[in-house]
Amino acid sequence: DTAVSQTPKYLVTQMGNDKSIKCEQNLGHDTMYWYKQDSKKFLKIMFSYNNKELIINETVPNRFSPKSPDKAHLNLHINSLELGDSAVYFCASSDGGMPTDTQYFGPGTRLTVL
């Protein structure tokens, strides 16, 4: 019944490793997002996909690569992890990509880079 789900919930890894976070939504939405919430709780959009096509890419290092195999999934792959990547990553989805569309958030993935 979960609308937007993410796995894993917690991820602890060493600097330099490559890791992926998966996101799935069962709401039938066309648009999905990745957000990063830092230790001071600032929330910033990273990417937005509409029907598997990238529509927002916000000055994110190219070590971050989103991949959307279908419109229900938006995965985030991170190469060569750095200490500054430690944060909570949220996936979200909305019916369309307009600001009038309500975004539904997943529970978050807490990434800790040691």
Partner 1 sequence: AQSVTQPDIHITVSEGASLELRCNYSYGATPYLFWYVQSPGQGLQLLLKYFSGDTLVQGIKGFEAEFKRSQSSFNLRKPSVHWSDAAEYFCAVGGGGGSYIPTFGRGTSLIVHP
Question: Residues near 74 by Cβ (< 8 Å), separated by ≥ 6?
Answer: 23, 32, 33, 34, 47, 49, 66, 67, 68, 91
What's the closest the beta carbon of residue 99 comes to partner 1, in angstroms? 4
Are 24 and 92 a contacting pair, CB within 8 Å?
Answer: no
| Residue 39 near partner 1 by CB under 8 A | no
| Residue 42 near partner 1 by CB under 8 A | yes
Interatomic CA distance for residues 60 and 83, integer angstroms: 15
Interatomic CA distance for residues 23 and 34, integer angstroms: 9
| Residue 45 near partner 1 by CB under 8 A | yes
What's the closest the beta carbon of residue 15 comes to partner 1, in angstroms? 26
Judged by DSSP in three states, 79 sits in coil
What's the closest the beta carbon of residue 84 comes to partner 1, in angstroms? 18
Interatomic CA distance for residues 26 and 40, integer angstroms: 30
Among 12-20, 62-70, 72-80, 103-111, which window interacts with partner 1 (CB under 8 A)? 103-111
What's the closest the beta carbon of residue 107 comes to partner 1, in angstroms? 5
| Residue 78 near partner 1 by CB under 8 A | no
Judged by DSSP in three states, 9 sits in coil
Applying CB under 8 A, the residues found at the interface with partner 1 are 4, 40-45, 48, 55-56, 58, 90, 92, 97-100, 102-103, 105-108
